[in-house]
Structure 1
Amino acid sequence: MAAQGHFKGQSVNRPPLFDGEDYTYWKTRMKFFLQGLDYQIWSIVDEGDLLVTNEKDRWMEDDKKKIFLNCKAKSILCCALSKKEFNRISACKSAMEMWEKLRITYERTNKVKETRIDILVTQYERFQMQPGETITQMYSRFTDITNGLAGLGKTYEMGDMVRKVLRSLPASWTPKVTAIEEANDLKRMSLEKLIGSLMAHEINMKRLGESSSRKKHNNALKAVEDTLSEESDGVESAEGSEDEEAFLSRRLQRILAKKKYHSSIRYFKKGKDLKKPEVKDSKKSEPICYECKKPRHIKAECPKLKKTEFRKKDITR
């Protein structure tokens, strides 16, 4: 683990390693490292080598000290670079020249620098807390933007950054934002104090949310249990009701069958009753002989009368 930490430059005794990625981050860390190690060395990197006017054979103790610091500055920079990056600056004569070579390589011209500043400023102005993002994650994104701007020479006042963070919070944080604005002077409030207050509020919101979710879960379980109990009671009552319904259904079918049977009998009798008067009426409409009292002929056509008359004629003859 120690070797890995040294390789990544995570030691106060070793400079941060630059491998060609995230130059702004490395430059800021390297600046702090040199200032903490020896501020005069940082001055050599930033402003140039200490001037030595005497010839080598006439160097004084002060001259030797200056030359030592100049070489030490170059050595520290070389130790902070990977082989690829070292090849870029290996021909440089001074620490300042090495530093400027790296700056031009990765920040390029002032126009490119201004373009990068414009991009980061746009990200700063449009910065908003993302859905599902924690305060820690949001603050990490925010510091990436502000540190990138600071590395390019663009800085904001503390009060401006505090207000920007408050404006980036979603609507659910409005009560907390209002409380912070009323209780604090935003111009004097530090960003760290603001983030600490927001993180404490986030923990309380999470705790209340978990309590509410547990309550809802318990209510849901109770509702499910009540539903299952009602369904079991309903099944039992349904079985009894199904038996009762089946009995009523069979009884109703028998009643309907009897009713249909009786109605058919009444219809049959009614048909007979209707036919009899028709026969009587037909008989009444036919002529009846007064002689023999039989229908379908009259007295003048009665066979019995004709037979009698025929016999009388035979007698007279």
Structure 2
Amino acid sequence: MLSNIQTCTTAKEIWEKLVQICEGNEETKENKLTVALQKFELIKMKPEETMAEFDERFSSLVIELARLNKTYSNRELALKVMRALPKEWDVKTMAIRELKDLNKLELHDLFANLKAYEFELETKAEMEPSTSQPTKALAASIPDQNPCSTDSRSTDEMSKDAMALLIRKFGKFLRKQNSQPFSFNSPKKNFNNPSENKCYNCGRTGHFMDDCNRQKQDEKK
């Protein structure tokens, strides 16, 4: 750097040379300003970022813009900060807009207010017990599932389904063979008192359909 200012004869020339070395020429300044403005427009508070970290990042960007001759009013900065916060901060930002004069609200005062609110939320969250996660005792009381037992239950369920399907098909087969619907609840033959047996073929009592003479005659035909 000393070699760059050795040819300067006045303090003004030295200063201008140092400014050019540190900040660059006009084209470099324009490029830096464009990048800084883009960062300012897109800045958002990150999900895992604390308010102190966001304050440092936002304030550094504002200082960088000020060095490039780009300044903002208190209101513009306050609105930009509140718009950059997540939705969880909407209630707080609405209260600030209603109760504070944004034209007089300094940036450091705004962040101090937000940090105090963040600390209040963290303290409240620590004092309240969390019910979203099961306790260790509850987790220990839940037995681990055995893969073998799970497989055996699955096999039993498949066997029951197969048996139900077999019974259903058997019922359909019997309904095709007989004119009357098959039912497991149909009356049984009474061998002690045959007169109580009823034939569903001829409607008479004393015998069943498989012993009916009329049925046998029809089969002979």
TM-score by length of 1: 0.42
Query: Would you say 1:131 and 2:47 are equivalent positions?
Result: yes
Q: Give, in whole Å, the separation in 1 of the partners of 2:45 and 2:95.
A: 19
1:166 is matched with which residue?
A: 82
Q: Give, in whole Å, the separation in 2 of the partners of 1:148 and 1:170.
A: 24
Query: Would you say 1:223 and 2:138 are equivalent positions?
Result: yes
SS of aligned partner of 2:108: helix
Q: Give, in whole Å, the separation in 1 of the partners of 2:120 and 2:36.
A: 33
Query: Would you say 1:191 and 2:114 are equivalent positions?
Result: no
2:183 is matched with which residue?
A: none
CA deviation after TM superposition for structure 1 residue 222, in Å = 4.5
Match of 1:180 among 85, 89, 96: 96
Q: Give, in whole Å, the separation in 2 of the partners of 1:211 and 1:120.
A: 41
Q: Give, in whole Å, the separation in 2 of the partners of 1:196 and 1:111.
A: 37
Go from structure 1 to structure 2 and tell me whether the alpha carbon gap of 1:128 and 1:97 turns closer, same or farther (over 3 Å shift): same
CA deviation after TM superposition for structure 1 residue 210, in Å = 2.2
2:199 is matched with which residue?
A: none
1:101 is matched with which residue?
A: 17
Bigger Rg over Cα: 1
Q: Give, in whole Å, the separation in 2 of the partners of 1:157 and 1:167.
A: 16
Q: Give, in whole Å, the separation in 2 of the partners of 1:105 and 1:120.
A: 19
Matched letter for residue 91 of structure 1: T
**What is the percentage of aligned positions where both structures have the same residue?**
29
Matched letter for residue 143 of structure 1: S
CA deviation after TM superposition for structure 1 residue 106, in Å = 3.3
SS of aligned partner of 2:126: helix
Runs ≥4 residues deviating over 6 A: none
Question: Over residues 214-273 of structure 1, what are the superposed CA-to-partner deviations in whole Å (9 max), with x where a residue is unaligned?
Answer: 444996135246x26xx6xxxxxxxxxxxxxxxxxxxxxxxxxxxxxxxxxxxxxxxxxx
Matched letter for residue 134 of structure 1: T
CA deviation after TM superposition for structure 1 residue 142, in Å = 0.9
RMSD: 2.1
Q: Give, in whole Å, the separation in 2 of the partners of 1:191 and 1:208.
A: 26
SS of aligned partner of 1:205: helix
Q: Give, in whole Å, the separation in 2 of the partners of 1:134 and 1:141.
A: 11
Go from structure 1 to structure 2 and tell me whether the alpha carbon gap of 1:157 and 1:218 turns closer, same or farther (over 3 Å shift): closer
Q: Give, in whole Å, the separation in 1 of the partners of 2:11 and 2:62.
A: 28
SS of aligned partner of 1:93: coil
Q: Give, in whole Å, the separation in 2 of the partners of 1:156 and 1:215.
A: 43
What is the aligned length? Answer: 143
Runs of 5+ in structure 1 lacking a partner?
1-84, 232-317
Q: Give, in whole Å, the separation in 2 of the partners of 1:205 and 1:166.
A: 17
1:62 is matched with which residue?
A: none
Greater helix content:
1
CA deviation after TM superposition for structure 1 residue 160, in Å = 0.5
Runs of 5+ in structure 2 lacking a partner?
144-221
Q: Give, in whole Å, the separation in 1 of the partners of 2:2 and 2:87.
A: 50
TM-score by length of 2: 0.59
Q: Give, in whole Å, the separation in 2 of the partners of 1:149 and 1:215.
A: 43
